[in-house]
Structure 1
Amino acid sequence: MSEQIRGHCLCGAVTVTSTMDKPALRACHCDMCRQQNSGAFMSISNDPQDVTVTGEIKVYRSSEWAERAFCPICGSTLWYSTVHDGARHLSAGLFENAGGAPLKLEFFADKCPEGYRFEGAHKRLSTDETIAMFGAQAGDDA
């Protein structure tokens, strides 16, 4: 059953609405996510074709395959977007209680700093596994 989720940035200037079919949190420990967020980037599963955004946003092209969006007023991370398909992986922090979703997947798990670890029996992909997955989705070999 689909559930509509609605959230906003820290200052409230940007509002994001989408639907969530299977609630799930994903954590990314890549160098860029950790540098941008001072820790793992937590995204919430959503229907990528059903995202409505109100308010001004800024987008930064962070790699060949990805863009990152943020609020130009408060700096809140809004999403990580894959360029090849335009899918927006929404920041879990936009939504109250992260949409109530459980942690299901970690990307770049071998890059997780020694200072923290996420507990639980969820899937953990290494750097090589993550790159292979995104490379395959983007039509890349790398």
Structure 2
Amino acid sequence: MMQGSCLCGEITFQAEAAAREPAACHCTQCRKQSGHHWASVQVMDSALKINGSPRWYTSSPGVRRGFCPTCGSFLFWKSDADPDTGISLGAIDGPTGLHLTRHIFVADKGDYYDITDSVPHKEKEHG
């Protein structure tokens, strides 16, 4: 089981299934909300339990971003069309045992950093 929380602990979560597809998103929205790129992992909604009341921001049609209303931690990314939710890798408690599988939206990345690892890059898409 994987568990985690926001910075202040008001929002906690547990995932009882394997996390999939760890990725770093470099899109403008993720950069603006996180302050850099956003690293996340996908968990099936049926295996995810969220405790507390995150605030959800509709950032695009059919896409919501969940964050703690107290400390502001950006925790979740959810497309209404998908059966899973992206969870912030940085919010997970303890070692994850996970490794990034791809960088996405690298065409939108900030000019102040380079991506120097050997993880595959996707210029403008999720998959």
Give the alignment's TM-score, normalised by structure 2. Answer: 0.88
Cα distance in 1, alignment partners of residues 45 and 123 from structure 2: 24
State the 1:86 CA deviation: 5.0
Question: Are 1:75 and 2:58 an aligned pair?
Answer: no
Q: Deviations over 1:60-85 (max 9, x none)?
A: 11001310000111110110101113
Q: Which structure 1 residue ranges, 5 or more long, are not aligned?
A: 134-142
Q: Which has the higher helix share?
A: 1
CA 112–84 in structure 1, closer or farther in 2 if over 3 Å, else same: same
Equivalent of residue 119 in structure 1, options 96, 100, 116? 116
Q: Which has the higher strand share?
A: 2
State the 1:53 CA deviation: 0.6
Question: Are 1:5 and 2:2 an aligned pair?
Answer: yes
Q: Give 1:106's aligned amino acid.
A: H
Q: Deviations over 1:97-116 (max 9, x none)?
A: 56231111111012222222
RMSD: 2.0
Instruction: Show the counterpart of 1:136.
Output: none
State the 1:19 CA deviation: 3.5
Equivalent of residue 12 in structure 2, options 15, 22, 26? 15
Cα distance in 2, alignment partners of residues 104 and 97 from structure 1: 20
The count of aligned residue pairs is 127
Cα distance in 1, alignment partners of residues 118 and 82 from structure 2: 30
Question: Are 1:96 and 2:102 an aligned pair?
Answer: no
Q: Between the two structures, name the one with larger relative contact order (CA 8 Å, sep ≥ 6).
A: 2
The answer on whether the counterparts of 2:16 and 2:47 sit within 8 Å (CA) in structure 1 is yes
CA 86–42 in structure 1, closer or farther in 2 if over 3 Å, else same: same
Give the alignment's TM-score, normalised by structure 1. Answer: 0.79
Identity, % of aligned positions: 26
Instruction: Show the counterpart of 1:138.
Output: none
- Structure showing greater radius of gyration is 1
Runs of 4+ in 1 over 3 A off after TM superposition: none
